[in-house]
Every structure is written in structure tokens, then in C-alpha cells.
Amino acid sequence: MTDLDDAAVGAQFALHFDETRLAFATAEALATGPMPREIYESADNIAGTLIYAQGVNDGAAGTSAAADLAELRFTALEDLAGLDGCDITQLVRFAAVPPVSTRVANANGQPIAVLLFDLGPVDVDVTAPVLSGVPANISVPATSSSGAFVAQPSVTASDNCDPEVSVTLSIVFPNSSTSSSWPLDGIFPIGTTSVSWSATDDAGNTTTAARTITVVNAAPVVTITSPAPNSQFFLSTAITFSGTAIDNEQGNLTSILVWTSNLQGPIGSGGSFTRSDLVIGTHTITASATDITGAVGSASIQVIVLDPGAFLPAAPTNPNATVSGSVVTVTWTDNANNEQFFEIRRQQRLSNGGWGNEAIVGTVGANVTSFSQSPGAGRWRYSVRAVNAAGPSSWTAWVQINVN
């Protein structure tokens, strides 16, 4: 109600609304207004009409000053979702609902002249903004103890009614601290950070997109460089252990390596050390390093410590020799489980009928059961034995072959 020529003590309103787009919900006289007492209310959602009357409290004086009198609420029908709900006009207008018309009265019941203005164009908008440029969840390895760089995506919002809709950013870091802006240096800490973008249009429709940025702390990479896996040593032999530990975030952590044996527990630390007191048996040697965030990297090998007088390998059996063209292939049965390699020896038939020119002509690794060579024309014989750190087994019987 705008300024009047006389003090008003009551008002009645006759309104029409677009029943295809709106449904009347409530009418309420404003308790802080000059006419807080509701007198009459009648609404028809089929015809799209509303009659509402209100007045001053008993004994109260009227007012001629501009004031808000009542709050009328309407519900946008679901059908609006399929319409372009921007700048819809003639939703609510003043018009007589016979026999009632809109009027304002003074204390004597006389009407006061008023100017009536229909509700202007409004956005009856039920469509939320659309976010563009939102990335997928991000997972990157840490590049330093501070974390990793993540480029800020360009996230924008568009809306069916509002030409400009701003995007707000919310970030929750792994330590639960928060921010409304991207880190200036683009560095995200190790762990999982929650990031959400949201946009709200003038009608209050909100769209939110939530993503995670995970910076993975890689464990140190540990390498054992000495001794070689499955190395065998006599009891009391000095064994040198060497290794490295490289961390993606902290760099070289070789100095904090911790070495253990499954048979003896801790045996050393750092990048290199020597022990000569490992007990007899098969040791699983593990070198490990722990970075500043608690990530553990490790590497393991087996080392075999032997009693020199107790662990000779079993001798191979069933030697056999075949020839294909000029290539002789010798095979045998492996009866040992602790050999390091096999030696193959050869003799040549001499012109006097005897055997001579004996030589070790080759070695093959553990668990290998064949050896091939081209010895040249003549008659030859071969035998095989197994060898480990404790010494060699006995030789097999000779096996003869003729090469043309």
C-alpha cells in the first residue's frame, strides 16, 4: 500500500491468478504491518480467484503511510517444468471477483482512492543452473613432501533465466581445514581433498558438483644391490649387504634403511654393512625404509649360509648324449636341491685308443638339466657333476657320442 489521502483501517483485495501455472497456498496479514488482523479469506484454485480482507486491531488507529499489508504465497505447478518459465506475465492481477472488488476504507467505512498495479513479469523458474568444466575425480602422485600441483579447472555455470550465474568453490583439505578459493600455488597436500562447485540462480535453484583430489604418497623404492638373490656362503664368511632407498617426496633415504633377517632379527642399518655371524640356514633378508608420512618401502632376498662339511649337493644321474648334425646335447637327472651350478667335462678318443684332452667345457645354472656344444668330428665322452659353495658332487658315469 502506497501513501494515501486518509487513514485506512481496513482493506479487501480481489485478485485473479493464472490457475494453469499457480496454485494458491496461503495468505497472511503481516503482524508488523498496520493491519495485522485477518478478516476474510476465500480462494478458488479452479477459477484462479482470491478474496482477502484485513484490518487494524480493535481500537487501533489507521494509517496513511506506505506499508506492506499481507504476504500471499503461491505454488508453481509441476507443469512449469516443461515451460520456459522466464519473464512470465499476468500471473497475479487485480480484478473484481463479483460482487467483490479491491478497496481500502477509512474509519467511517468510506472508500479511499488507491492506485492498483498488477504483478509485473516474474521468473517462475524450476530449472537449476548447469555447471560446465567440472573435472572427474583426480588422483596424482606426490612430487614433494608438500604434495602435488593440480591445475585449477575452469568451471562455469549457465542458466535458462539468469544470464550471469556465479560459481562458488568449497574445499575441505585432509586436515579438515577449509577454503573458498583454489590454492595460489596449486599445491594440494598428501591425502584426499574434497572439492565442490555450486551455482544458485535468482529463483534459488542450486546445482552442486562434488569431486575429490587425492594426492598419493608413494612409498620409498628400496633396492638390494648386494648380495645377489639366493647367494650361498660358508658359515663365518663375511657377507656385505648393500642397498638404496629413494623416495619420490623426500629424495634419498638410503641412510635410514633397516635390515632384518627372519632367522636373527635386526642385522644392520644404512646403505652398506658387513656381517660374518649369520647362522646356518636360509635367511630372508629384508631392507626397509619409512618416509615422513609413515609409508614403508621394502625389498627382500634370500641368502643361504652353509656348513662346509654338511651340504654337498647330490650327484646327478642318468647321463645321456645325442647328436644332431654337429651339435652334441648332454642331458641328466638333477637330484640336488642346493646346487649353484653344474659342470660338464669332456674327453676325446685318441688315435692310440685311449681317452685324453680332458677339459671342463661348460657350466649351467641350478635346475638346468641339459648342455649343448659343437665339439667337432671325432668320438667324445661327457660326464656331469653338481657344485655349490660347499664343493662339488661326484661325477656321473661317462656317456659316449660319435660326431661325423
Residue 386's alpha-carbon distances to 316, 340, 394, in angstroms, are 7, 8, 8
Which fold would CATH assign to domain 130-216?
Immunoglobulin-like (2.60.40)
Q: Which three cell numbers stand for residue 274?
A: 658387513
Which fold would CATH assign to domain 221-306?
Immunoglobulin-like (2.60.40)
Same fold, 221-306 and 317-403: yes
pLDDT tens-digit profile of 321-335? 999 999 999 999 999
Q: Which three cell numbers stand for residue 34?
A: 498496520
Residue written as cell 482493506? 11
DSSP, res 395: P
6 vs 106: CA distance, rounded Å: 7
pTM given for the model: 0.47
Residue 27's SS3 state is: strand
pLDDT tens-digit profile of 249-305? 889 999 999 999 999 999 999 999 999 999 999 999 999 999 988 889 999 999 999
Domain boundaries, the chain: 10-112, 130-216, 221-306, 317-403
Which residues in the chain show pLDDT less than 70? 1-4, 78-85, 87-89, 116-124, 308-309
pLDDT tens-digit profile of 17-60? 989 888 999 999 999 999 999 999 999 999 999 999 999 999 88
140 vs 296: CA distance, rounded Å: 19
Per CATH, the architecture of 317-403 is what? Sandwich (2.60)
